[in-house]
Structure 1
Amino acid sequence: MKKYLLVITIIFYSFKIQAQTAQDTLDIKRVALAYIESQHTPNPKLMEGALHPRMVKRSVFRNKTAQKDFISEFFAENMVILAETYNVKGDKFPKNPRKEVKLLDVSAKTASIKLYADEWIDYMHIVKTNGEWKIINVLWQYNDVSKHE
């Protein structure tokens, strides 16, 4: 009986350490949505607020001439500029753009999420620093992988 109580206590303690609060869940989703919504309605301040200053966004593309894959990289500064300029004419997204956030894993200081947006999928790592959740890594691809060539 003591063994069972010990095991239950250890399991409970483990979950308690790893669990996030309801507010963490809301904040993680808010940050992921800010990332995409700042592009829907150009808003560089919203994008900047969602990103850790050392954020890197990556994807793999194919160089047709060299017939080799390469990794593209964008940084926080690039994403803030993108949020300011990408959709200024309002023609880059449908009237009701898709923005679905799926939490894959959440711990006390880190989270992994999958963002489904219209033409692409973004996998994000979100980190809690100084009490705030910020996007630190993004790995993305188009739904239509032929666009990576």
Structure 2
Amino acid sequence: MKLIFFFSLLIAMSTLKVQAQTRQDTLDIKRVALAYIESQHTPNPRQMQDALHPRVVKRSVFKNKKTQKDFVSEYSAENLVILAETYNTAGDKFPKTPRKEIKLLDVSALTASVKLIADEWFDYMHIVKTNGEWKIINVLWQYNKISEHQ
């Protein structure tokens, strides 16, 4: 009987939705992920900078058209701040109401894995809690259309 109860409890716990350590952690993780994409919607380098850990790296895989070899593209914090400042200055990179869906994949006391689904791409993010603040430290992204990676 105890064994059945134990397995039932184990199954019930494994189906629970991932939660941060506190409700505030959950809100802060989502806020940081939204700041990342919203700083590109309405060019705001300060908002991007505030969301990033100084050692953040953003990566994706592309194929060189000439050699047909794959390579990994990397952006640093400085590149991402410049991206936020310049990417959508004409206001034509996103729909009028852009998609910005945040999914918490896994959260622990000091780390979180998040999936951001935007209009043309998705980002997997690792967010860390350092000195009491959640900051993005890794981003791995891909266009929805794989042909965009050429």
Q: In which range does the TM-score fall when normalised by the shorter chain?
A: 0.7 to 0.9
TM-score between both structures, scaled by the size of structure 2: 0.87
TM-score between both structures, scaled by the size of structure 1: 0.88
Q: Which amino acid aligns with 2:112?
A: A
Which runs of no fewer than 5 residues in structure 2 stay unpaired? 14-18
Q: What per-residue deviation string (whole Å, max 9, x for no partner) do you get for residues 62-121 of structure 1? A: 012112100000000000011011111111110000000000000000000000000000
- Secondary structure of 2:74's match? strand
- Secondary structure of 2:92's match? coil
Q: Which amino acid aligns with 1:75?
A: S
The question of whether the paired residues in 1 share the 8 Å contact of 2:125 and 2:139 is answered with yes
Q: Which amino acid aligns with 2:62?
A: F
For 2:71, the equivalent position in structure 1 comes to: 70
Rounded to whole Å, the distance in 2 between the matches of 1:148 and 1:67 is 11
Q: Does residue 131 of the first structure (1) align with residue 107 of the second (2)?
A: no
Rounded to whole Å, the distance in 2 between the matches of 1:83 and 1:67 is 30
Identity %: 80
For 1:84, the equivalent position in structure 2 comes to: 85
Q: What per-residue deviation string (whole Å, max 9, x for no partner) do you get for residues 26-68 of structure 1? A: 0000000000000000000000000000000000000121121
- Secondary structure of 1:126's match? strand
Q: Does residue 41 of the first structure (1) align with residue 45 of the second (2)?
A: no
The 10-residue stretch of structure 1 (84-93 or 111-120) with the greater mean CA deviation from structure 2? 84-93
Query: How many residues are treated as equivalent by the alignment?
Result: 139
Runs of 4+ in structure 1 deviating by more than 4 angstroms, as ranges, are none
Which runs of no fewer than 5 residues in structure 1 stay unpaired? 13-17
Rounded to whole Å, the distance in 1 between the matches of 2:65 and 2:93 is 25
For 1:31, the equivalent position in structure 2 comes to: 32
Q: What per-residue deviation string (whole Å, max 9, x for no partner) do you get for residues 118-139 of structure 1? A: 0000000000000000000000
For 1:15, the equivalent position in structure 2 comes to: none
